[in-house]
């Protein structure tokens, strides 16, 4: 009969910290490609933009150090304030459409409906998500043409006068909202469907047994369990909607005036239209800070309405 050997005491033989150290090295090895990518394509360009924001540089001559002069210009640029206003208007509208209408369409797709109708919905809202924003904008530029567009032709058959979708200061931002929402709502629908399918059916069946109607089941069961998904989409859609560029660039060139111009388009024009890279960098730095503050506020207030199992 052999005697059972006691495990090695701490400090003798194998160290109890060695497995943890090996796990840490393995985790770092797996994460290192993402870390290197983040440093090269995010952190280093951000540091370069911050460096340029302190210089007056036009790409052709040597830069001149101007300190905080580019940031001081931000407070006297009245056009920048108007562009921020149009950006906020369009971004909030796109956010509302993607979060609210996306949820309604996802719930509709999860209910029983004819198979052909389900296919029409999926093709209409999910297909635009996989094609480029510039291609979507070019298609809608033809559809929204005041004289030859299909949209005005269909409205004309209903007795509605032609609408100057791309040339009116009222309708141009609405056109951008419609086109961008149609392009991006497919992502929200996909995420909502995944969240709805993750909710246990037993909870809904228990609510039915207790006599809850459809609205009560949605408000008391579905919405709380779906709240982390809704919060994720609010954060992602906020960041994306504030950065729209292709649609206003192709459809309206930011016009008429600055009615449909976004802050990213204004930054692009200052950098590569006026070759004022220092001022454009200052706009980019402040815009990044605005997005960081918005995201921090969303995380701060999310604790009041999100529910985690």
What does the pLDDT look like over 76-103, one tens digit per residue?
Answer: 988 999 999 999 999 999 999 999 999 9
- Residue 261 contacts residue 273 (beta carbons within 8 Å): no
Q: State residue 1's pLDDT score.
A: 43
What pLDDT digit, counting tens, does each position of 210-222 carry? 888 888 888 888 8
Give me the helix-helix angle, 223-242 and 171-197, nearest 10°: 140
pLDDT of residue 290: 93
pLDDT higher than 70, residue 202: yes
Q: What is the pTM of this model?
A: 0.83
Domain boundaries, the chain: 68-303
Question: Is the pLDDT score of 309 beyond 50?
Answer: yes
CATH of 68-303, one of 1.10.3720.10, 1.20.1090.10, 1.20.1110.10, 3.40.50.1820: 1.10.3720.10
pLDDT of residue 91: 94
pLDDT digits (tens, 9 = 90+) for 105-156: 888 888 777 777 777 777 777 778 888 888 888 899 989 988 888 999 999 8
Q: How many residues does the chain have?
A: 309
Query: Which of 24-38, 159-173, 197-211, 242-256 is least confident?
Result: 197-211
Query: Would you say residue 298 has pLDDT above 60?
Result: yes
82 contacts: CB under 8 Å, gap ≥ 6: 258
Say whether pLDDT at 198 is over 80: yes
pLDDT above 60 (res 9): no
**pLDDT value at position 2?**
46
CB-hemisphere CA count at 13 Å for 181? Answer: 19
More confident of the two residues 22 and 64: 64
Within the chain, how many helices (H) and strands (E) appear? 15, 2
Distance, in Å, from the CA atom of 62 to the CA atom of 179, rounded to the nearest integer, reads 42
Average pLDDT over residues 213-242: 90
Q: Please determine, for residue 207, whether its predicted confidence score (pLDDT) is greater than 90.
A: no
CA neighbor of 235 nearest in space, from 193, 191, 199: 191
Q: How confident is the model at residue 17 (pLDDT cuts 50, 70, 90)?
A: low
pLDDT score recorded for residue 111: 77
pLDDT at 238: 93
Across the range 188-199, mean pLDDT stands at: 89
Nearest Cα to 244, choosing from 187, 166, 181?
A: 181
Average pLDDT over residues 283-309: 89
pLDDT at 59: 81
């Amino acid at each position: 009969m052999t005697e059972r050997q006691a495990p090695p005491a701490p400090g003798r033989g194998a160290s109890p910290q060695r497995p943890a150290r090996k796990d840490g090295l393995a985790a770092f090895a797996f994460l290192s490609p993402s870390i290197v990518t983040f440093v090269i394509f995010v952190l280093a360009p951000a540091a370069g933009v911050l460096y340029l924001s302190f210089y007056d540089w036009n790409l052709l001559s040597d830069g001149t150090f101007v300190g905080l002069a580019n940031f001081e210009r931000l407070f006297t640029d009245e056009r920048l304030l108007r562009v921020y206003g149009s950006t906020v208007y369009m971004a909030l509208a796109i956010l509302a459409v993607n979060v609210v209408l996306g949820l309604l369409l996802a719930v509709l797709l999860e209910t029983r409906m004819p198979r052909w109708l389900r296919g029409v919905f999926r093709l209409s809202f999910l297909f635009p998500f996989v094609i480029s924003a510039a291609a979507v904008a070019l298609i809608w530029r033809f559809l929204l043409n005041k004289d030859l567009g299909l949209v005005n032709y269909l409205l004309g058959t209903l007795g509605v006068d032609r609408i100057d979708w791309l040339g009116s200061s009222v309708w141009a931002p609405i056109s951008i909202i419609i086109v961008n929402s149609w392009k991006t709502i497919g992502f929200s629908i996909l995420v909502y469907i995944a969240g709805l399918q993750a909710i246990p059916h037993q909870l809904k069946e228990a609510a039915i047994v207790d006599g809850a109607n459809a609205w009560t089941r949605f408000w008391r069961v579905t919405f709380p369990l779906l709240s982390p998904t809704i919060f994720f989409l609010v954060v992602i859609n906020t960041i994306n909607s504030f950065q729209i560029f292709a649609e206003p660039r192709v459809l309206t060139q930011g016009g008429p005036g600055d009615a449909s111009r976004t802050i990213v388009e204004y930054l692009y024009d200052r950098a590569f239209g006026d070759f004022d890279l220092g001022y454009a960098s200052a706009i980019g730095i402040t815009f990044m800070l605005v997005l960081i503050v918005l995201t921090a506020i969303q995380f701060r207030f999310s604790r009041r309405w999100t529910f985690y199992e």
